[in-house]
Amino acid sequence: MRPAPVRRLPVVLSILFSVCCLLTAIARADLVWNPQTGWSLEGGALSGLAGAEGRNALDQMNKARTAEESGSSRSAIKSYQSVAKRYPNSIYAPEALYRSARLRLSRKEFTKAFEDFQQVLARYPNTRRFNEIVGEQYRIASALLDGARGRMLLGLLPGFTQRDKAIEYFETILANAPYSDYAPLSLMNVARGHQRLGNTAEAIDALDRMINNYSQTLLAPDAYLKLAQTHAALVDGPYYDQGSTKEAITYFTDFMLLFPSDTNISAAEKGLDGMKTMLAESKMRMADFYFYKRSNYKAARVFYNEAITAYPESAIAQRAKSRLAEVEAKANNQPAPAPAPGTEQPAKKKRFFFF
């Protein structure tokens, strides 16, 4: 078999170019509503339907919009949903879902509105309304997180709040548009929602994702500070595990190094001082236990030195140095040195005499 002549190549390229132009025209096509003539296609596009099926879809769209214009939102939603279900591959379907979502939003049917918007993005990702729909989804999620209630039940009872649903919606927005301006905002709201519901671990995870994935946004300073404060809120006191204390110290320090001119720098300094004090005090309690309760001078030395290292400039560090002198005296069987001015001494045990 002989190869095709080279002269046919320009013809093939011309055909491909024409097809691409046609597809582009279809993609840019739009539905336009006119109260006198109804829906019409602009841009020379095809509806995706032919014959009676195309006429039926257009009639249903006109019926839905007429009901919408007359204030019969319930009837309009029903007709729009019918178009989206029966003609999913037509140019009418995304418009029908979009208009259904807007009507449901006006009726405070927040979850159904969000789901209709989501169907547009999932089934027709090239829609020209992509950014607009993501913005509408963000507003729905924000309203729910702030306690917005849905449509009244039976016309008498107020709808329920759905803050857990809001968190789910923010995660959906993040998946829909991970590179949009709504992505970092959504993560911050996910963290806020989890904190409000008492899900501290999930809030920390959201803030951590915010810092790792969107460190260049204007929200990054707030994320660092909130992450530090969230870890600080988990600290139970000097007698407990100090893992959260160390995490809080790390993020307070990072915040101060990365954003030295931020307006919240004083809050970070105060938080860092509290956490370093907590960590040093925890080391002191451990050291005192080994020194006074177990006479384990080696362990006491280790923990007193760690208290000094944890916060060298603090009063706790001075107290630890004084204790170290006592440890050395005890270890060498020498009288304990006089306490330094301003350092507290452990209370002496009371003795009870029985006659």
Query: Hey, where are the domains in the chain?
Result: 29-107, 131-151+158-216, 218-334
Report d(CA 259, CA 276) in Å as an integer. Answer: 20
Q: Can you tell me the distance from the alpha carbon of 110 to that of 216, in angstroms, rounded to the nearest whole number?
A: 32
Find tokens 């019926």 and name the residue.
Answer: 63
Burial class (CB in 10 A: 0-12, 13-18, 19+), 107: middle
Which residues of the chain have a pLDDT value below 70?
Answer: 1-29, 43-48, 50-51, 152-159, 334-355
CATH classification (class only), 218-334? mainly alpha
DSSP alpha helices (H): ranges in 311-354? 315-331
Angle at 315 between CA 312 and CA 317, to 5 degrees: 40
CB 207 within 8 Å of CB 230: yes
Q: How far apart are CA 61 and CA 92, in angstroms?
A: 7
Query: Please, is 127 exposed, middle or buried when counting C-beta atoms within 10 Å of its C-beta (0-12, 13-18, 19+)?
Result: middle
Enter the pTM of the model. 0.80
Which pLDDT score is estimated for 235? 96
pLDDT of residue 64: 96
Nearest CA to 139 among 164, 117, 158, 156?
A: 117
CA–CA distance, 147 with 105 (Å, rounded to integer): 16
Closest CA to 23 of 53, 50, 39, 44: 44
The per-residue pLDDT for range 186-231, each reduced to its tens digit, is: 999 999 999 999 999 999 999 999 999 999 999 999 999 999 999 9
Second-level CATH architecture of 131-151+158-216: Alpha Horseshoe (1.25)
* 72-74-75-80 Cα dihedral, nearest 10 degrees: 120
Decide if 131-151+158-216 and 218-334 have a common fold: yes
**What whole-number distance in Å separates Cα of residue 78 and Cα of residue 103?**
11
Residues β-bridged to residue 157 = 153
Q: Using CA atoms, how far apart are residues 114 and 134, in angstroms rounded to an integer?
A: 10
User: What residues have CB less than 8 Å from 290, skipping those under 6 apart?
Assistant: 296, 297, 299, 300, 303
* The pLDDT of residue 46: 67
Could you give the count of Cα atoms lying within 13 Å of 232 in the half-sphere of its Cβ? 23
Query: What is the 8-class DSSP label of residue 152?
Result: P
d(CA 201, CA 145): 18
Q: What is the number of other CB atoms lying within 10 angstroms of the CB of residue 299?
A: 15
